[in-house]
């Protein structure tokens, strides 16, 4: 059995930098035509000039004859200006500006401390049609980590959609039933990406039988009821939900330690794992919309014209992959996948 899809895109991806890029970008480029590349490097990518330089480093790390296109983003800080937004839009390489609440996830220390102070910038983004990409979690220490997405919706997303009704927003890596409901209530201007890990697993995978650090990501895995809501949304055929892996490689030693970092590496088998999820839901006929059509439509970009083919063939995920001078442990390490990319 085989399925052929219009070549998909990844609308949320971490590639890191320098030597590490060379170890991971080929996995993405083999499966996806384009990807929205996250800007949370150290230092963060805060200007168009920095994004252009980062894009050059990504392109130089690609395998020979690859036609993969990185779509760049800026990191929103308290110091972002409307002038920089205009420069970003005119560059044509910047496809969004990423909002990280300060301290929300890996390398987010420079994130936004008070979104209200950036309202003039958001007004410019709305006028220019430059999407706001949102890591939607509050960071208050008194808010339970499993409730941080829901609190962000009530505290920040509802006011944002009210005050900027024409600003395109992407609710990144949604993890809760409340997020699904919010996106549906604001379809048209709000889209959402859904990751492999939040579709495949719930918090039991991370905690039952001992702490399993390679399942630890932010936003954190939630209850099974939320996982079910995400599967229903992803496989629904509704165009405001689309593919975004949030693939985030970390060295093995940085995950397997007393204070392990957040992030799951999924680029090695992303589209294959999505196919597995859709097959289980009896929705393989809707995979192409989720993976290949709805994302470019939301961003106002042309759909890809080439295709990829997946075969129903079991293979085993390696225990680890090279990652610069280190190793990265992929999601599903040592386990089997039922779909394989036909090369």
The response to whether 14 counts as a known ligand-binding position is: yes
The response to whether 198 counts as a known ligand-binding position is: no
The response to whether 98 counts as a known ligand-binding position is: yes
Q: How far apart (Å, rounded) are the C-alpha atoms in residues 205 and 224?
A: 10
The response to whether 12 counts as a known ligand-binding position is: yes
SS3 77: coil
The response to whether 214 counts as a known ligand-binding position is: no
The response to whether 240 counts as a known ligand-binding position is: no
Q: How far apart (Å, rounded) are the C-alpha atoms in residues 44 and 101?
A: 14
67 is catalytic: no
Q: How far apart (Å, rounded) are the C-alpha atoms in residues 299 and 281?
A: 27
Set 10, 18, 246, 326: catalytic member: 246
Reference 170, options 36, 319, 26, 17; nearest CA is: 36
CA atoms within 13 A on the CB side of 241: 25
Reference 232, options 153, 171, 176, 148; nearest CA is: 176
Q: How far apart (Å, rounded) are the C-alpha atoms in residues 213 and 90?
A: 41
Cite the beta strand spans of 142-269 per DSSP E: 169-171, 190-194, 241-243
Evaluate whether 324 touches 18 at the Cβ level (below 8 Å): yes
CB atoms within 10 A of CB 236: 17
Q: How far apart (Å, rounded) are the C-alpha atoms in residues 175 and 198?
A: 6
The response to whether 173 counts as a known ligand-binding position is: yes
Residue 70 sits at φ, ψ, to 5 deg, of -80, 135
Q: How far apart (Å, rounded) are the C-alpha atoms in residues 144 and 107?
A: 21
Evaluate whether 73 touches 96 at the Cβ level (below 8 Å): yes
CB atoms within 10 A of CB 290: 26
The response to whether 17 counts as a known ligand-binding position is: no
Burial class (CB within 10 angstroms; exposed 0-12, middle 13-18, buried 19+) of 194: buried
Annotated binding-site ranges for Zn(2+): 12, 14, 98, 135, 173, 246
Annotated binding-site ranges: 12, 14-16, 40, 98, 135, 173, 218, 246, 250, 262
Catalytic sites, residue numbers: 246
Annotated binding-site ranges for substrate: 14-16, 40, 135, 218, 250, 262
């Amino acid at each position: 059995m085989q399925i052929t899809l219009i070549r998909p895109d990844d609308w949320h991806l971490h590639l890191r930098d320098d030597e590490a890029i060379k170890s991971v970008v080929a996995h993405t480029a083999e499966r996806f035509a384009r990807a929205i590349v996250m800007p949370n490097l150290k230092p963060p990518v805060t200007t168009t000039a920095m994004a252009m330089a980062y894009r050059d480093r990504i392109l130089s790390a690609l395998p020979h004859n690859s036609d993969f296109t990185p779509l760049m983003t800026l990191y929103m800080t308290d110091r972002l200006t409307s002038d920089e937004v205009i420069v970003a839009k005119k560059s044509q390489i910047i496809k969004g500006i990423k909002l990280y609440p300060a301290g929300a996830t890996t390398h987010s220390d420079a994130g936004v401390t008070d979104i209200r102070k950036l309202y003039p910038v958001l007004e410019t983004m709305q006028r220019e049609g430059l999407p706001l990409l949102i890591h939607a979690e509050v960071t208050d220490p008194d808010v339970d980590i499993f409730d941080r997405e829901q609190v962000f919706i009530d505290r920040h997303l509802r006011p944002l959609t009210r005050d900027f009704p024409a600003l395109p927003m992407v609710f990144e890596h949604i993890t809760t039933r409340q997020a699904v409901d919010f996106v549906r209530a604001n379809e048209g201007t709000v889209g959402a990406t859904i990751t492999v890990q939040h579709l495949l697993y719930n918090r039991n995978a991370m905690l039952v039988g001992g702490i399993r650090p390679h399942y630890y990501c932010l936003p954190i895995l939630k209850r099974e009821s939320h996982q079910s809501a995400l599967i229903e949304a992803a496989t629904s055929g509704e165009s405001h939900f689309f593919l975004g892996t949030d693939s985030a490689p970390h060295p093995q030693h940085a995950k397997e330690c007393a204070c392990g970092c957040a992030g799951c590496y999924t680029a090695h088998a992303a589209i294959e794992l999505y196919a597995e999820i859709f097959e289980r839901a009896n929705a393989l006929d809707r995979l192409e919309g989720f993976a290949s059509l709805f994302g470019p439509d939301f961003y106002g970009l042309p759909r890809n014209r080439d295709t990829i083919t997946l075969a129903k063939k079991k293979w085993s995920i390696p225990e680890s992959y090279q990652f610069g001078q280190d190793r990265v442990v992929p999601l599903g390490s040592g386990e089997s996948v039922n779909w394989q990319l036909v090369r």
